[in-house]
Amino acid sequence: MAVYTHLGSEQIAALIAPYEVGTLLSAKGIAEGVSNSNWLVETTGADGEGARFILTMYERRIALDDLPYFLGLLDHLSARGCAVPRTIHDREGARFRMVDGKAAALIEFLPGISPDEPSAAQAHALGAALAQMHLAGRDFPLERANAMGLVENCATLEACGSEALARIDADLPAMIGPARAAAALDTGGLPRAHIHADLFPDNVLMLGDSVSGMIDFYFACTDTMALDLATTHAAWAFGPDNRYRPAIGASLINGYETVRSLERAERALLPELAKGACLRFVASRAEDWLDTPDDALVTRKDPMEFVARWHYYDETGQDSFA
């Protein structure tokens, strides 16, 4: 279970007391997520008719200095009609509060279900929602560097070292070379925006074929829009057997372009950006694998899953984005 900090009902009630959300009715830990502690909180609501929220306590990989960017971006996008949860401000206007040295935020609860096997219609809707998000964030004034960009991913794999990577899988050290090539990729001429950077199916809520929520913006940053689209493509377009699903990949791209047309340079670089996106998850999963004790009650994620996806993009090139 991904709740790293235990909070009793009295503590949670005291934590939400400074908010105009009514009194606490229940709080249930949420198992999903690996970086934060999360609870589904139910209250009487400010109007007495009941309300739901997500309470998040930030545990790891998230710097306190980044929270104004993450939470401010949520509010900015929500105010512009994007399917993004807004933050709940306390009576003093603060977006988060400190509890025993850790930051905690109360976030709007959005209805919907994350698809295990997205349909083409759902992928099309997500593509459009992603493009809408890119355009809606153009006037958000803050910026944040991509801490898991192409250069950073290469550095992570190199820091792991070939010997340690080989203990995970004998073929894994061979990905250091491609990571160096990705780090050298020139993306300076591509249009930039505020990007999600981690839009896996479990970070998307759907009501039928409509996107009701894009959540977990804690890798969001300022980077190229095409990289965000390529990352989403790599996350969505492969089935449970890790085989490419052409209808999903095509629908995602087509949905995106119903809202924002890709520039020629962006389309030309999509295969290389998708390979770079795969390497991002290869690197982070390898690092987490090596950092996780053998007796930890955590299921490690296999970096070789995205090695296989890297090979697919390397072999097919533009055919994956036709």
**35-56 per-position pLDDT tens digit:** 688 899 999 999 999 999 999 9
* Per-residue confidence band for 295, with pLDDT thresholds at 50, 70 and 90: low
Angstrom CA distances, 163 to 153, 176, 235, 291, stand at 18, 12, 28, 15
Judge residue 73's burial from the number of C-beta atoms within 10 Å of its C-beta, 0-12 exposed, 13-18 middle, 19 or more buried. buried
Cα separation, 214 vs 197, in Å, equals 12
* Per-residue confidence band for 34, with pLDDT thresholds at 50, 70 and 90: low
The pTM for the full model equals: 0.93
The whole-angstrom distance between residue 57's C-alpha and the CA centroid of its chain comes to 17
Instruction: Provide, rounded to the nearest whole percent, the portion of the chain with pLDDT above 70.
Output: 95
Cα separation, 19 vs 14, in Å, equals 10
Cα separation, 204 vs 79, in Å, equals 19
* Per-residue confidence band for 60, with pLDDT thresholds at 50, 70 and 90: low
**Closest alpha carbon to 125 in 48, 10, 212, 47:** 212
pLDDT of residue 2: 47
Residue 64's CB is within 10 A of a number of other CB atoms, namely: 12
Residues 110-137, mean pLDDT to the nearest whole number: 97
Whether 99 has a pLDDT exceeding 80, the answer reads yes
